[in-house]
Amino acid sequence: MADEVRTAQPKEFYRKYLEQGVRPDNRELGEFRPTVLDIGSKNGSCISTAEGSALIRLGNTIVICGIKGELAEPKTETPTEGYLVPNVELSAVCSPQFRPGPPSEQAQVLSQFVANVLKNSQCVELEDLCIAPGKMVWVLYADLICLDYDGNVADACVLALTAALSNTSLPVVRVDEETGKTETDFKEEKKIQLTCTPISATSAIFEDNVLLVDPTRQEEELSTGLVTVVTDGKNICSLEKPGGSPLKDQQMRLCIERAFQRHTEACNLITQSQGSTLSTLTSPLVDR
């Protein structure tokens, strides 16, 4: 009977739960889903051929990120800077709502969102990707592939990307100034040093007045708006709210508070994952 009501009258179904301060999956309003993170290829679930990789399971949402490095000439206006190029893929495999073919509008929006996070946080110094000024730099392609879509792909992508970058090592490349030839030493690697760890926290607005952190796909569909706050632990890197219901000052402060709390939890998860094959955040964020 409950499943029939959920299908026929989803808003009414949710409303009855929210009146009790809980959600249908037994989470509190400010509680993230259990988060599982696998960094690198030790556990066999990441990309062994990539320079860095990570897989994130946020509830039923699964995103894998692979970092690949290529050599290229720098831009004329920035001769000492490399490139970071993210791309988010939402294929038909992850959800029936996506179709084969060119990237969907949502995938393009997510790719731009991730690019903005990288730019605003400056978590990677682009000058660190320079091999020979004006001649050769590294281009890091960050491919983010959603394997299972059940809402809040934005937060999953940011966490997967940050974790994968923390795991990225590049072979040492030297350029002969006289001949211009390159020599790559695959035995000697240089790890990418992150200046900070950008982490995002997304909340859905339900009926203009209830905030649901880490929304599922159905919660996103029923929401009247979404708000995503990205922090580096000290500062707000970006705040995304593409239309929808306006938020009161108190609600916005709550979203920001949740983002900083989530940052602490996620960074601990990354640290744990770097020292083992698999880490799980079994105590999801709850409003305190």
Q: How confident is the model at residue 172 (pLDDT cuts 50, 70, 90)?
A: confident
The whole-angstrom separation of Cα 123 and Cα 198 is 7
pLDDT, tens digit, for every residue of 137-152? 999 999 999 999 999 9
Q: Which residues of 208-239 are buried (b: 16+ CB within 10 A; e: fewer)?
A: eebbbbbbbbbbbebbebbbbbbbbeeeebbb
| For the chain, domain boundaries | 27-276
| DSSP-assigned states of every residue in 196-239 | ---EEEEEEEETTTEEEES--HHHHHH-S-EEEEEE-SSSEEEE
Task: Report pLDDT for 280.
Answer: 66
Proportion of the chain above pLDDT 90, given as a percent: 68
Residue 43: pLDDT above 80? Answer: no
Residue 106: pLDDT above 60? Answer: yes
Report which secondary-structure segment, H or E, holds 260. Answer: helix 249-274
Class of domain 27-276: alpha beta
The mean pLDDT value for 33-61 works out to 84
